[in-house]
Amino acid sequence: MGFRPPWFVLVAPALGALAGLLYGAIFDVGPLTGAAIRGAIIGTPIMLYERRFLFPALRERIRGLATPLFLLATVALYIGLIVAGNALASTVLNRLFRFMYSERNAMLMTDTGLLYALAISAVVVFVFRVRDLIGPGVFANLLIGRYHRPIGEERIFLFLDVTGSTRFADQHGDRAAQAYLGQVFNALALPVSRARGSIDDYIGDLALVTWTMERGIRDAACLRCVFDFQARLAAEAESWRSRFGQVPEFRAALHCGPVVTAEIGLERHKIAYFGDAVNTTARLEALSKTLGVHVLVSSDLLDRIGPLPEDLVAYDLGAHTLRGREAPLAVAAIRQPATGAIRTT
């Protein structure tokens, strides 16, 4: 799908070089050019790892650990990357730029350099853990204070409900059900990230995902996210059956519209959405159950997306009256049909 921004491959060395320049300026370790090169080579793998360009499967497993284990595992991995990066940087500086007299000595990392790299890494680990806990989009918006004052904007909303979770809890108990839902939502995180969306909340067995209008309609990203998640569950079906005895199933409803977005709360900050679009999406999720549709989308959103990609087809289900709305809303089921299916609008 290509949702990971390729420009980050260029940004990562630049950020690493800045960290190296800062180190060189503070500790006066020699030419700043050498410090910048060393910082770029050491810092790039860490940042590429955090952006899922490097060791994505390992990163996902580590992110699923409890916070103390997550911190230990991440710092240990960072130390390995720092030592390997320093060795590579020393080789480059010695052979290409002749900054060091002895390649062997250049390979050794000073205590100050290691502590500095670990301190920067610890800050990065902490920031990314907080970011994971409250969501990337929410974290960024809280950090810059974008919604400190209410803002009117258009957004796309996805209500994704994990079906059968109540039955699972009755059969296996609440603790097992919590572990099950936790793994389901963990699996949802990567498709949402690839689609450049944001998981803004969990409500029982339901996840609320949002997009800005521009990001969500681009190449039907909001719809592709749902089917990317479905494909992932299917690809890992044996693992799900082995651990939980079943493969998760879900219903999804999508809608868009104007909302007022605001940062609320004092001791615990949260970004909340106010407007009919949120309530309508909730009503559509309930309607999807009534209609027996796995992926239900409003005509409002389909009109904004425009022509669907070739691998997605909309099946018109007519207009339905929803509680809280005066006018009926036209809806459609979205599917990935077998070859030869007829596209309808």
Q: How would residue 344 be classed by pLDDT, with cut points 50, 70 and 90? A: very low
Please state the domain extents for the chain. 8-134, 136-335
247-302 residue pLDDT tens: 999 999 999 999 988 777 666 666 778 889 999 999 999 999 999 999 999 999 99
Which top CATH class is 136-335? alpha beta
- pLDDT (average), residues 233-251: 95
Q: How would residue 315 be classed by pLDDT, with cut points 50, 70 and 90? A: very high
Of 24-38, 106-120, 126-140, which has the strongest mean pLDDT? 24-38
89-111 residue pLDDT tens: 888 877 777 665 455 555 566 77
Indicate the Cα dihedral angle 44, 49, 55, 61, nearest 10°.
Answer: 160
Is residue 7 over pLDDT 70?
Answer: no
Q: What is the pTM of this model?
A: 0.70
Is residue 338 over pLDDT 80?
Answer: no
More confident residue, 208 or 54: 208
- pLDDT (average), residues 196-214: 91
- pLDDT (average), residues 315-330: 91
